[in-house]
Amino acid sequence: MAPPITEEAFTTAELDVADEVGVELVRFVRLINKAKSQVAKQGPDGIERAAYAILFHLIHDGPQRTSKLAETLHAEISTISRQSSSLVQHGLVERQADPEDGRACLLAPTTEGLRVFEENRRQRNIWLATVLADWPEEDRDKLNELLNRLNTGIEQSIPQAADHVSAHGKGANE
């Protein structure tokens, strides 16, 4: 395991830029949350907005057990169970026998679930296209490239942060 990176490894300028990025990321998350709150907590079909995260993961990652979804979404199994039951009742998700363990079931998107997902995605894309409409094409392309790079860096650093916490028995805020 590599030794943890400490503050001394960075110049003051690098830490200042990191602080500016952090401020903008906090602002970004707040604005996204505000935009989401402008949309009703219940979708037009009566489904909790939070339940769409389940549908997203089932479409992108394939059929899964409730426990795996809870782990992936950092949620309680009871919450995932309640939300997935609503998705099943609305015909967006179905329960299937787990081929590896017939006693367990997997959740999988239905054809209607795929349709609803694509409609939500279409609406999101229209909103983002509106936000970016007056940006030059090169800026839109660069934003996409940089967001991908940032997300990849965050994904790659998460295990290191977890290793650091487990090795030292403390979290970042302690």
**Which residue is associated with the tokens 């402008």?**
38
The 8-class DSSP code of residue 172 comes to T
CATH number of the domain to which 106 belongs: 1.10.10.10
Is residue 64 located within the same domain as residue 124?
yes
**By the 8 A CB rule, do 71 and 55 touch?**
no
How many angstroms separate the CA atoms of 66 and 10, rounded? 42
pLDDT at 14: 93
Is residue 151 located within the same domain as residue 72?
no
Which helix (H) or strand (E) segment is 75 a member of? none
Whether 13 maps to a domain, the answer reads no
Whether 152 maps to a domain, the answer reads yes
What is this structure's pTM?
A: 0.71
What total number of domains does the chain contain? 2
Specify whether the backbone of 81 is left (phi greater than 0), alpha (psi in -120 to 50) or beta. alpha
- At 41, the pLDDT band (50, 70, 90 cuts) reads low
100-156 tens-digit pLDDT: 887 889 999 999 999 988 988 898 899 999 999 999 999 999 999 999 999 999 888
3-state secondary structure (DSSP) of residue 97: strand
Domain residues for the domain of 82 are 38-131
How many angstroms separate the CA atoms of 136 and 113, rounded? 35
